[in-house]
Amino acid sequence: MKESYDILIVGVGGQGTILTSNVLGEACLIEGKSVRGAETHGMAQRGGSVETHIRINGVHGPLIPAGEADIVIALELIEALRFRHYSTPEGVMVVNRELIVPASVYAKKLEVPTMENILERLSDSKPCVIDANALALQAGSALTQNIVMVGAASRYLPLSEHALREAVRRCVPEKTIDVNLAAFALGRDASASCR
């Protein structure tokens, strides 16, 4: 019954989920598709977990029910685990190979999670794991990690590569267009080997 293609983007406040949402929404406009989205603003952005919902072809509300996301794009590993139940059983997970240890771990003296451990726990979701930091640096700026992730996710989205590239061009600062387009291309190449 669901008409929309539902994307959940998760990460840590400050990682650029909102720009990611802008790129996907702009691409929908370019393709003439309706779109709905919901974002985290305000104090929760101060280093907290953030989630952004985007519903391509959405015409009703902006919220994706847990278990209904067609794709989860995680900009951080712990957040990937935290939100993976939002994915449908067939859903795709595109995950940044980036671990940001929450300060609560040190404050409460919990065991410090390791990348290997988190990847192991994620493995039954068969995630497409992308080293966005390395690719962003290769593109020319560590700040383009979120666009690397859009590129990596682009293979799965019902949006053309052309529309997404044009959307990147429109949404990022003019001086950074080339770097961001390079980041997009590197991300897209990197996910070629995923399922």
Partner 1 sequence: MEKRYLLGNEAIAHACLESSVDFVTGYPGTPSSEVIDTLRSHGPTDFYLEWSVNEKVAFENALAAAWCGQRALCTMKHVGLNVASDPLMTSAYTGITGGFVVMSADDPFAHSSQNEQDSRCYARFARLPCLDPHGVQEAHDMIRDAFSLSEELGLPVLFRPTTRICHSKSDVVLGEVGSEHRKGEFVRDPAKYVVIPAHTRVLHRKLNEKQPVIVKTLAQRGYNDAEIRGKTAVIAGGISASYVQEVIPPDVSWARVGAYPVDEEWLRNFVRQHNKVLVIEELHPIIEEAVREIAGKTVIHGKKDGFTPWEGELNPASVAEIFVKAGYLASSPFRKPGTADMTLPSRPPILCAGCMHRATFYAIKKVFRDAVYPSDIGCYTLGLQLGVVDTTICMGASITVASGINHSGDERDVVCTIGDSTFLHTGICGLLNAAYNGADMTVVILDNRVTAMTGHQPNPMSGKRARGEPSVPISLEAICRACGVQFVETADPYDLTDLIEVLRRAKDQKGVRVIIAKQPCVISARRAGVKRKPLAVDAELCTGCSACIRFGCPAIEFDKEKSSIGPLCSGCGVCASICPAGAIGPEGRP
Minimal CA–CA distance to 24: which of 151, 167, 193, 187? 167
Q: In angstroms, rounded to a whole number, what is the distance separating the alpha carbons of residues 120 and 101?
A: 17
175 binds partner 1 (CB under 8 A): no
Q: Which of 9, 70, 84, 157 binds partner 1 (CB under 8 A)?
A: 84
Segment contacting partner 1 by CB under 8 A, of 47-55, 147-155, 172-180, 182-190: 47-55
Q: In angstroms, rounded to a whole number, what is the distance separating the alpha carbons of residues 37 and 53?
A: 5
Minimal CA–CA distance to 78: which of 131, 114, 45, 109? 114
49 binds partner 1 (CB under 8 A): yes
Q: Which of 9, 79, 96, 156 binds partner 1 (CB under 8 A)?
A: 79
Interface mask toward partner 1 for 92-111; x: CB under 8 A: ---------xxxxxxxx-x-
Helix (H/G/I), strand (E/B), else coil: 37: strand
Q: What's the N-to-C CA distance of the chain in angstroms? A: 26
115 binds partner 1 (CB under 8 A): no
158 binds partner 1 (CB under 8 A): no
Nearer to partner 1, 65 or 158 (CB): 65
- What type of residue sits at position 146? N
Which phi and psi (to 5°) does residue 33 adopt?
-95, 145
Tokens 């309706």, residue located: 34
State the residues that interact with partner 1 by CB under 8 A: 1-2, 12-13, 21-22, 25-26, 28-29, 34-49, 54, 60-63, 65-68, 78-79, 81-86, 88-89, 101-108, 110, 112-113, 121
